[in-house]
Structure 1
Amino acid sequence: TLNNNEIDGPGVERGMVFQQGALFEWLTVAENVNFGLRMKKEDPEVTAKKVDEWLDIVGLKGFGNTPTYQLSGGMQQRVALARCLINDPDLILMDEPLGALDALTREKMQSLVLKIWKETGKTIILITHSVEEALLLGERLYVMAPRPGRIHKEYNLPFAEMGLTQDLREIKKNKEFSSTREEILSMIWNMEEEIMGKDN
């Protein structure tokens, strides 16, 4: 449920950002970002202005007429973020959205996700296999146990808030950050060992 309403299919109150951009390659950047608004039959003049605003927010000002297939992986993920956020969803689900990016682009996108989270006040559920990324971006972090999938442990963390004003690389050097990362990695390692032992 979301806001006490049962979820039984896709809805405009929820946005999705996939691991790979899942963009429409035959459309331009602006047409991709505008897709949801066009489906809702909103006024084209109003939506064109919104598209420009969101392209500016995600750092793609001036790329509206560019075919999406000409963009780098990081730029495509920025388009995917803008396409999701322009619809003003209450809840955003990001499924490994930065997993396919190189290290530098991933770091820049992590900062962008934090900025958007702070500026929009949106609830973002981010799924990642990177413990470091989960610590950097999550206020509430859930470590999932496999087979059957369930919440194994919950953490309430200060690092996302810190990341709004501090360099992410400096936060990674924080003693509490390091000890929490090692604790979670050990926890995951032990769960994997237990499962592999059961399988043998």
Structure 2
Amino acid sequence: MTKVRCGWCVGDSLYESYHDNEWGVPLHDEQLLFEFLVLETFQAGLSWITILRKRENFRLAFDNFDYKIIAQYDEGKKEELLQNAGIIRNKLKVNAAITNAQNFIKIQEEFGSFDTYIWSFVNGIPIKNSWKHHKENPATTEISDKISKDLKKRGFKFVGSTVMYAFMQAIGMVNDHAVDCFRYNEV
């Protein structure tokens, strides 16, 4: 019997694997939260599949998304990243990754963890929507607006409401699997 999946991932094995194993699963690991934050900010204006196809290159280029190392990147490292054809070579986004790593650490210092901070926006409980089709998923919500505004106030870059809603979906703060998707009740 064929698994019913959300329509956005069907037909591409990388997309299907990401959908089946990661998307919408509640995530609380600091390193992975930062990884998704970086990937979502680089995705701004691009398709998610473009980012997924370059994910391993990003891992290598960005020291396995170790935010403590990234926060210390200097001009030489920035230039190295901008010459790396395996990632998205956007100067503003590279700078944002560094700035966001520094601010990620500040949030950890203030709240004990980034996990505590980000999940507080949903009181630690994932929002479970009931969409019949993936095209019903909103691009933004009041919560993503609130997160975006707060992160920007804290100095984060490329964290608009649309990016933050995609981040919420990726880390399982919101379950936007279609109701007939096999993952809907699993996450």
Shared fold (TM-score, shorter chain, > 0.5): no
Which one has the largest radius of gyration?
1
**TM-score scaled by structure 2?**
0.25
**TM-score scaled by structure 1?**
0.24
Higher relative contact order (CA 8 A, sep 6+): 2
Higher helix share: 2
Higher strand share: 1
